[in-house]
Structure 1
Amino acid sequence: MNAPESSAAPRRRTSALAWLLLLVALPLAGALGWRAWQSERDERRAADAEETVRIEALQQRVATLRQGQQAQGMRLQQAEATNRLLRDELLAMGQRAALLEDSVQRLADPAQDAARALRLDEIELLLAQGRQRLLLAGDLQGARSAYALAARLLDALDAPADIDLRQVLADERAMLDALGADPRVAAVARLDAFEAGLDAAAGAPVVAAATPERGATTSAQPWWQRVASRIVHVRRSDQVLVVDAGERAAGLASLRLELSLARMAAERRDHAGYAAALARVRALVPRLWPRSAARDARLRELDAIAALPLAVELPTLGTTLDQLRLQRGRRDDARAPM
């Protein structure tokens, strides 16, 4: 009985010692865990504070950069305004220098400046007269003479700005020299020649018209045909040829009147009236002349006359005059007071 009791006592002591160690270890472990958690929390707080400081520093830097950018933009605006002001002042100085140069030149030789202005006025007048004589009167030779006089006056000027005017005037004179007769004059001449041809052959078609069936009284015809031809004349019912002398004279008068109307339309450069008058002439020709090679030639001549142009096609006419007026306008604007 004593042996079991003695063995149970050490077990109880061991259990009590274990419980005692457990009671001592638990607070110690809790204290260590608490201290570890607090240290970790402190580290996190320190890290957060450091990050906050860094963010604030970055924000301050960004704000500083923005302020610097705004200041730089203001400096650029000021520099641009200054450059614009300097450019305006430079342009004003250049204009003042040009005005001073013109003033000095006029003071140095006022007679020469007045003579140049007078020459330019004469050149402008001659160029305007030449263009008007060509377009309104169809006087090509007069236009060439006016342009030649303008070229002589322009050659007497020695300003550098006159070189372009000389070149343009030379091109325009070459174009006028290469131009043939005025289309209006050529058309009127063709009409006169056509009317003269009608006067030369006025009496021939009557005999031809009156004798295609009946013929002349010759011995080649039988006696009964010669007798019948004095009583009956056979003619086609669809024939439009005028045989009666009075009707033929009226037709010729109408044809000459239409030719006069076509001539007047050509003088006015009225292409529609010109074509209409020639169309009426073409309708009268088959009534006055029988079908023949001569009549076909007259009709072809009428078609050729109707196809003639009436206007002068010169798209570059007046280029020298326009350039001269533009140059003088710019010079007057430069001399105007600021």
Structure 2
Amino acid sequence: MLLALLALAAWRAWVWWEAREPADHAPAADVRIEALNDRISALRGDLRAQAQRIQQADATNRVLRDELLGMGQRAALIEDSIARWSDPDRHGAQALRLDEAELLLAMGQQRLLIAGDLDGARRAYTLAGGVLSGVDDPAFLSLRQVLVQERAALDELGDDPRVRALARLQAFTSELDRPTDAVPVASAPADASWWRRAFSTVFDIQPRHRSLAVRPADRGDAMAGLQLELTLARAAAERRDVEAWRTALTRADAWLQRLWAPSPELQGRRDALAALAALPLSPELATLGSTLEQLRQLRSVRQEP
């Protein structure tokens, strides 16, 4: 019995000890867990700080890379500028001559196309030829030959087409400056019948559909309309408006048919108006600008790296 009581007491003591040991170690475990949590929090803070530093480093690297690229581009531009400044063909006496020749050729072309000034264009091309004669570069030898051909074509143009058209229009207008009180009567042709030839000076039969002005007031209005259309045609020729020029002359032809009866004189005047409408108002030159274009091509080729 004593041994049984001792065994029971020992077992109870062991159970009590086992139940007490976790309670004693619980505070120490909580302390270790809290320490681990603090350490993890610190590590997380360090990680966030490292991530921010890495982002800042990336941003700095991008800025540095952009600046490096910009410096490379600026260096390339500086090298290009230095190459251009050191090019004797661009900044020497020859380059100045080429610039002057290009300017003169452009001026001559524009004076001919815009103002129709043949004399001004010829003077500009003559000056450009004198400037190019001082260029001793063999590459521009063909350019002088093209300029000679273009100048020869300019000399073959003669007078300004606008001046010729205005002169012919003035001559046509001066023929109309005569009294128009009486209606011109068409004479009978030579092969007409005897009664038509006999009475052609007494009677003049006109078609009913013809709107021929007979009364002096009507003829005066028709002549005023004709003069107005001729004035409009003259203004169109001054500004080189081919469409307005031909339209005005077409309306003038209608006024002619209202003023004169069918006759050789009327037909001659209508033919003169048709010939005037067919005249050009601007000089036509197929080779115009060929020298300027070739000069620009040669200079662009020589400036290429």
Q: Establish whether TM, by shorter chain, passes 0.5.
A: yes
What TM-score range do you get, normalising by the shorter chain? 0.5 to 0.7
1:210/1:243 contact within 8 Å kept? no
**2:298 corresponds to:** 327
Give 1:211 deviation, angstroms: 11
Paired position in structure 2 for 1:114? 92
Q: Partner residue of 2:144?
A: 166
Which of 123, 135, 139 is the aligned partner of 2:117? 139
The equivalent residue for 2:181 is: 206
Shift of 1:172: 0.6
Counterpart check, 1:178 vs 2:156: yes
Give TM-score scaled by structure 2 length: 0.60
Q: Is the 8 A contact 1:209 1:241 kept in 2?
A: no
Q: Which stretches of structure 1, 4 residues or more, deviate above 6 A after TM superposition? A: none
Which amino acid in the other structure matches residue 165 of structure 1? Answer: L
1:236 deviates by: 4.5
1:265 to 219, 236, 242: 236
Q: Distance in 2 between matches of 1:287 and 1:318?
A: 47
Could you say which residue in structure 2 is the equivalent of 1:123? 101
Q: Which residue of 1 aligns with 2:249?
A: 278
Give, in whole Å, the separation in 1 of the partners of 2:231 and 2:204.
Answer: 36
What is the rounded CA distance, in whole Å, between the counterparts of 1:118 and 1:250 in structure 2?
63
**Alignment match, 1:75:** none
Match of 2:286 in 1: 315
Is 1:302 the counterpart of 2:273 in the alignment? yes
Q: How far off its partner does 1:237 sit?
A: 6.3
What is the CA deviation profile of residues 215-247 of structure 1, one whole-angstrom value per residue up to 9, with x for unaligned ones? Answer: xxxxxxxxxxxxxx9xxx997462532122222
Tell me the C-alpha RMSD between the 2 structures.
Answer: 3.0
For the pair shown, which has the larger CA radius of gyration, 1 or 2? 1
Distance in 1 between residues matched to 2:204 and 2:170, nearest whole Å: 37
Please give the residue correspondences for 1:48-87 in structure 2 after superposition, counting only pairs within 5 Å.
Answer: none
TM-score of the two chains, using structure 1 as the length reference: 0.55
CA distance in 1, matches of 2:155, 2:212: 48
Aligned partners of 1:165 and 1:323 also within 8 Å: yes
Correspondence for 1:23: none
**Deviation for aligned residue 1:163:** 0.4
Q: How big is the shift at 1:292?
A: 3.3
Question: What is the correspondence of 1:173-252 to structure 2 with a 5 Å cutoff?
Answer: 173-199=151-177, 202-203=178-179, 205-209=180-184, 236=206, 238=208, 239-252=210-223
Q: Is the 8 A contact 2:186 2:261 kept in 1?
A: no
Report how far residue 321 of structure 1 moved: 0.5
Secondary structure at the aligned position of 1:308 is classed as: coil
The offset of 1:277, in angstroms, is 1.4
Amino acid at match of 1:240: S
Q: Percent identity?
A: 49
Decide whether the 8 Å contact of 2:186 with 2:263 is kept in 1.
no
Q: In the alignment, what sits opposite 2:13?
A: none
- Shift of the alpha carbon at 1:266? 2.8
Distance 2:186 2:101 in 1: 68
C-alpha distance 234-160 of structure 1, shift in aligned 2 (>3 A): closer
Deviation of the 1:289 alpha carbon: 2.4
- Alpha-carbon offset, residue 113 of structure 1: 4.8
CA distance in 2: counterparts of 1:266 and 1:309, whole angstroms: 9
Q: 1:234 to 1:288 in 2, by over 3 A?
A: closer
Q: Classify the secondary structure of the residue corresponding to 1:240.
A: coil
Q: Determine if contact 1:248/1:288 at 8 Å carries over to the other structure.
A: yes
Mapped partners of 1:331, 1:241: distance in 2: 71
